[in-house]
Chain A
Amino acid sequence: MNLFQFLAQNFRQVLQLTLEHLWLVGVSTVLAALIGIPLGILIAHRPVLNRPVLGGANIIQTIPSLALFGFLLPVPWLGDRAERLAILALTLYALLPVIRNTFTGIRGVDPAVVESARGMGMTGRQLLWQVELPLAMSVILSGVRVAVVISVGLATIAAAIGAGGLGELIFRGLAMVNNQLILAGAIPAAFLALFADFSLGWLERRLRPQ
């Protein structure tokens, strides 16, 4: 039985696991953006906070993923459902690229543009929404894109704590020494990553200021 036959036979299961995978990545990316973008804006405007925040996000990044899943397991509400745990861990990992790119993007806006906008009497809020965010948007989005691609890969490990996703096929394949099973998980995951990378890259180019 080759891979295609296997995929055809188990289509429903592979599809379900793919959707689970997407759910984990999607929710964690949205959370990481909701936390990371405001944090990035904050540290771009308050340079004092820049080191501690980026340092903290960096440290999280150095924790091995399997260990992080393990650490979080005994936490009361989170430990109840493996899915919650996985989303939290993925969110934490996605923070660094989002924060760092938001910071870089906003700091990278031409100082002459910012100064003339302030000189014309824009309030801080107007400056942020009308000048800084639009001009930094493509850089911020490329941070989100990196975060998504990392998350698609990392989310396969979430299966180790029973959070589902394509990792389940991979782990099962490893246990059963069945290459087809491993590939049935790995190939859709790779395609997901490529697809996310491509579509976000397209969006990023669309939003890049001329």
Chain B
Amino acid sequence: MAGAWKTSTWSRSDVAVNLICWADMNRDTRDEPAIEFRDVSYELPSGQRVLSNLNLQVQRGETLVVLGRSGSGKTTTLKLINRLLRPTGGEVRVNGAGTGQRDVIRLRRGIGYVIQEIGLLPHFTVERNIGIVPSIDGWPLDKIRARTQELMQMVGLESQLAPRYPHQLSGGQRQRVGVARALAADPAILLMDEPFGALDPLTRDDLQREFLSLQQRLHKTVVFVTHDLNEALRLASRVALMEAGELITVLSPQEFLRSTDPLAAAYVRAFRAGTGLDTNRGSS
């Protein structure tokens, strides 16, 4: 079908070109953004605007970090993707279909979700927590068990932690359980809402490093919310900067550091001051 418009007198190179075109066309459907915001707005029932006219595309396999202060609308943006919130205007599309047009339970089971306060079920053991999505999805028990063990290994949890309860774990271990749980049903998309926010700097550093190496292997589409520029620059393929419910700009980490956008520049200044790398301070 792809070459139907071509004449029948193809040379060898024509065929090659055509094959590449065909491959590209095949990729085309895959190149459609994994997540797309089209003119999305969100208002609270009180009429307060939390998000205005957001247009944003998240490509397959990239880590898009949404950076902004608290109240800038970044968590709202995340919850619109798995429809914990419904847009009051515009449309959110996941894998090419509007989130409002499909079964919300199926949509959510196909999206891993890790949140700030972790949200582990306090009355479930580590093992059951990790296996929740497979279990509510009706996997057979032995398959759930095998998957749980595989995941615990993948995120660096010792297997003797399996029968423990969340309150018996350290903050870092809980967060690993949260990540393992989100990965359980092997979703193509991961949503992470300041997952490492409450950790001490060393544990955070460990988890960020492990996140990067996991992401290199798994190539998930990740939307990661944070207010920490350091984290954003370290993890992101692209950084989406938000302020007061509006998307200011989307830049790669390198572009971000050189950006002349006043807000981005302010972030970079604050970041440099915080690390003591500011040249002005160094010379005084």
Tell me whether A112 and B123 are in contact in the complex, defined as CB-CB below 8 angstroms, given that A121-B109, A121-B136, A123-B105 are known contacts: no
CB distance from A106 to the nearest CB of B (A): 14
Does B150 make an interface contact (CB < 8 A)?
A: no
Tell me whether A119 and B167 are in contact in the complex, defined as CB-CB below 8 angstroms, given that A135-B122, A135-B123, A209-B123 are known contacts: no
Cβ-defined contact, B113 with A112, below 8 A: no
Residue of A nearest to B113 (CB): A119
Cβ-defined contact, B136 with A126, below 8 A: yes
Does A42 make an interface contact (CB < 8 A)?
A: no
Residues 82-136 of B contacting A (Cβ, < 8 Å): 82, 84, 105-111, 113, 115-123, 132-133, 136
Q: State which of A118, A123, A131 has its C-beta within 8 Å of the C-beta of B121.
A: A131
Does A122 make an interface contact (CB < 8 A)?
A: yes
Residue of A nearest to B184 (CB): A120
How many chain A residues sit at the interface, stated as a range, is: 10 to 19
Question: Which B residues lie within 8 Å of A62 (CB)?
Answer: none
CB distance from B131 to the nearest CB of A (A): 11
Cβ-defined contact, A210 with B105, below 8 A: no
Question: Which A residues lie within 8 Å of B132 (CB)?
Answer: 117, 120, 122
Cβ-defined contact, A118 with B136, below 8 A: no
Question: Which A residues lie within 8 Å of B211 (CB)?
Answer: none
Tell me whether A134 and B113 are in contact in the complex, defined as CB-CB below 8 angstroms, given that A118-B108, A120-B132, A210-B167 are known contacts: no
Cβ-defined contact, B133 with A209, below 8 A: no
Residues 77-130 of A contacting B (Cβ, < 8 Å): 110, 112-113, 115-123, 126, 130
Cβ-defined contact, B121 with A117, below 8 A: yes
CB distance from A155 to the nearest CB of B (A): 35
Q: State which of B105, B115, B133 has its C-beta within 8 Å of the C-beta of A112.
A: B115
Does B267 make an interface contact (CB < 8 A)?
A: no
Cβ-defined contact, A113 with B122, below 8 A: yes
Cβ-defined contact, A112 with B119, below 8 A: yes
Residue of A nearest to B107 (CB): A121
The answer for the CA separation of A131 and B132 in the assembled complex, in Å, is 11
The answer for the CA separation of A122 and B123 in the assembled complex, in Å, is 16
Residue of B nearest to A208 (CB): B123
Q: State which of B119, B137, B167 has its C-beta within 8 Å of the C-beta of A116.
A: B119
The answer for the CA separation of A159 and B165 in the assembled complex, in Å, is 50
Tell me whether A119 and B84 are in contact in the complex, defined as CB-CB below 8 angstroms, given that A112-B118, A126-B136, A210-B167 are known contacts: yes
Cβ-defined contact, A209 with B122, below 8 A: yes
Question: Which A residues lie within 8 Å of B136 (CB)?
Answer: 120-123, 126, 130
Known: A113-B121, A119-B115, A131-B121. 16 other contacts (CB 8 A): A112-B116, A112-B118, A113-B120, A115-B119, A116-B113, A116-B118, A119-B79, A119-B82, A119-B113, A120-B132, A121-B105, A121-B107, A121-B108, A121-B109, A122-B136, A130-B121
Name A residues whose Cβ lies closer than 8 Å to a Cβ of B.
110, 112-113, 115-123, 126, 130-131, 134-135, 209-210
**6 tightest A-B CB contacts, nearest first:** A116-B119, A121-B108, A121-B109, A112-B117, A119-B113, A112-B119
